[in-house]
Structure 1
Amino acid sequence: MLGFGLAIEPQLWAMIFVMVRVGAAFVAAPVFSNVSVPLTVRVALSGAIAVLVLGTTPVQVPQSVFALATFVAVAAEALVGLALGFVLQVAFAAPLVAGEIIGGSMGIGFANMIDPNSGRSSPAIGQFLSILLTLLFLSLDGHLVLVDLVVRSYRALPPGASWLAADQLRDIALFGGYAFLAGLLLALPVGFLLLCLNLVMGMVSRSAPSLNLFAVGLPVSLAVGVVSLAIALPAMGDYMQVIIREGLAAAQSLVLAGAR
């Protein structure tokens, strides 16, 4: 029943209720939250996954739509979905941190572009690394693992008892530091070479004060940065796979509390 003497099909109301958690996960999760993904596609995917959930997991839906308990249950469902997507979004922020470090060391930190996925301005190198991480995420079937986590979340955190504990919320907040750690490790190969170059340029400028450091240092930093980035790209790609696995594992352990 909707309330006020109105009625709705029970199957339709159950699907709409399940779509709240799935849709919230898609709003916060990488790839699905990109502005390039049309809203109709997200709604269609949420409906398809909701049908899958209803066919595999018994879900107790509130009896009345316009009730305080229903609004609380919907808020709890949205919280679980947003937490699943947010943990993965933290891991996907590592390339942007690495791009800031590398771009600043190369002297092209001012080279920003409008990211078509988020609609915000981001460093050119960070955007390149983000696209590479997204392609690796899709190639490793990370989007399918995310859907599997959302489906299994209905067994770990069933509707009606899906509020996250305070310890889980604290661990999710502390996981935000992983973006800086992973970004630093991702930029370490190129950043170390650029740091050595800056030390050398500093010694050269002290030994030859008449040397125009800006006319010599910027082209050299740019050339060394591009070459070192090309050389270190395979190792950076391997670490990006580690970032993806860590993000998916954290989404399971932090949000689902190790549910199998």
Structure 2
Amino acid sequence: MLGFGLAVEPQLWTLLFVMVRVGAAFVAAPVFGAVSVPATVRVTLSAAIGVLVMGSMPIAAPTQVFAFTTFLAIAAEALVGLALGFILQIAFAAPLVASEIIGGSMGLSFATMIDPQRGAASPALGTFLSVLLTLLFLSVDGHLILVDLIARSYELLPPGAAWLGANAIRNIAMFGGYAFLAGFLLALPVGFLLLCLNLVVGMLSRSAPALNLFAVGLPASLAVGVIALFVAMPAMGDYMLVIVREALDAAKTLVLG
């Protein structure tokens, strides 16, 4: 018997209670949280994983719906799910940081397109790197590891006692700086070469003031940038795998301590 006096199957309410954490993780996580993924798919996946969690460990739903403790428990479940997805989303911001550094030097900062993850306009180079990172994330079964972490989170953070401590919140905030560090390291090979090119063009402008920098510097930066991206792409791909592993390790640390 629930708080509003209706006799409802307890397993149904337990499933809805479990789906709060799973659904919050899918809303914040990359791939699952993309705007191109319909809400029906997210709800269906949340229900399927909720059934899996209920079959693997005993979980009881709150006895009353309209109670302050129930609202606190639901907020705690949503907080844990959002934290798991947000950690991965931080790592997926690294390609956007790298594209701003590279695109500004190449003269491609004005070229934008719709990001399939966020559904908003972003640099074209950043969208390309984000798609590449997403494919690498799927190739190492990152989506399956995320589902496994969500299921295992109920062992360390059981429903009703799932509040994250101050250290966990601080670690998430500190991990936010990793997006800038990873983006800088991702853009370092191409960015350093473009910086050297800009120094050469600056020296030419001082030695030959009549030289039109827009007619020489912009095509040269674009050509050198494209060639440098082609040459450095294997190394950038390897470092993107490092970014994926760091994000999954950070999420695992949040769940398992």
Report the TM range for the smaller structure's normalisation: over 0.9
The residue number in structure 2 matching 1:169 is: 169
Q: TM-score, normalised by structure 2?
A: 0.98
1:97 aligns with 2:97: yes
- Measured against aligned partners, the alpha-carbon deviations of 1:172-199 in whole angstroms (never above 9, x if no partner) come to 1111100000000000110011011011
1:116, 1:150 → 2: CA distance? 24
Deviation at 1:28, TM superposition (A): 0.2
Deviation at 1:257, TM superposition (A): 4.5
Structure 2 residue matching 1:122: 3-state secondary structure: strand
The residue number in structure 1 matching 2:16 is: 16
Q: Is the 8 A contact 2:80 2:163 kept in 1?
A: yes
Q: Over the residues paired in the alignment, what is the CA RMSD in angstroms? A: 0.9
Comparing 5-14 with 79-88, greater Cα deviation is found at: 5-14
- Structure 1 ranges of 4+ moved more than 6 A: none
1:132-143 to structure 2, matched below 5 A, reads 132-143=132-143
The residue number in structure 2 matching 1:235 is: 235
Q: Is the 8 A contact 2:3 2:63 kept in 1?
A: no
Structure 1 residue matching 2:33: 3-state secondary structure: coil
1:143, 1:257 → 2: CA distance? 18
1:158, 1:224 → 2: CA distance? 54
1:189, 1:55 → 2: CA distance? 49
1:167, 1:4 → 2: CA distance? 38
Q: Is the 8 A contact 2:90 2:176 kept in 1?
A: yes
Structure 1 residue matching 2:30: 3-state secondary structure: coil
The residue number in structure 2 matching 1:193 is: 193
Identity of paired residues, percent? 74
2:144, 2:256 → 1: CA distance? 20
The residue type paired with residue 40 of structure 1 is: T
Q: Is the 8 A contact 2:28 2:85 kept in 1?
A: yes
Q: Is the 8 A contact 2:15 2:50 kept in 1?
A: yes
Number of aligned pairs? 257
Structure 2 residue matching 1:183: 3-state secondary structure: helix
Structure 2 residue matching 1:256: 3-state secondary structure: helix
The residue type paired with residue 171 of structure 1 is: N
- Measured against aligned partners, the alpha-carbon deviations of 1:107-136 in whole angstroms (never above 9, x if no partner) come to 111111122331111001000000000000
The residue type paired with residue 206 of structure 1 is: R
1:156, 1:3 → 2: CA distance? 28
Deviation at 1:66, TM superposition (A): 1.9
1:1-260 to structure 2, matched below 5 A, reads 1-253=1-253, 255-258=254-257
Deviation at 1:57, TM superposition (A): 1.5
Deviation at 1:164, TM superposition (A): 0.3
Deviation at 1:61, TM superposition (A): 2.0
Deviation at 1:41, TM superposition (A): 0.3
2:2, 2:169 → 1: CA distance? 32
Deviation at 1:67, TM superposition (A): 1.5
**Any stretches of 5+ residues in structure 1 without a counterpart?**
none
Deviation at 1:60, TM superposition (A): 2.9
1:5, 1:60 → 2: CA distance? 18
Comparing 73-82 with 53-62, greater Cα deviation is found at: 53-62
Structure 1 residue matching 2:25: 3-state secondary structure: helix
The residue type paired with residue 6 of structure 1 is: L
**Any stretches of 5+ residues in structure 2 without a counterpart?**
none
Q: Is the 8 A contact 2:4 2:65 kept in 1?
A: no
2:17, 2:194 → 1: CA distance? 52
Comparing 1-10 with 149-158, greater Cα deviation is found at: 1-10
Structure 1 residue matching 2:163: 3-state secondary structure: coil
The residue type paired with residue 117 of structure 1 is: Q
1:244, 1:106 → 2: CA distance? 26
2:123, 2:50 → 1: CA distance? 37
2:29, 2:86 → 1: CA distance? 6
The residue type paired with residue 111 of structure 1 is: A
Q: TM-score, normalised by structure 1?
A: 0.97
Deviation at 1:247, TM superposition (A): 0.2
The residue type paired with residue 137 of structure 1 is: F
Q: Is the 8 A contact 2:10 2:61 kept in 1?
A: no
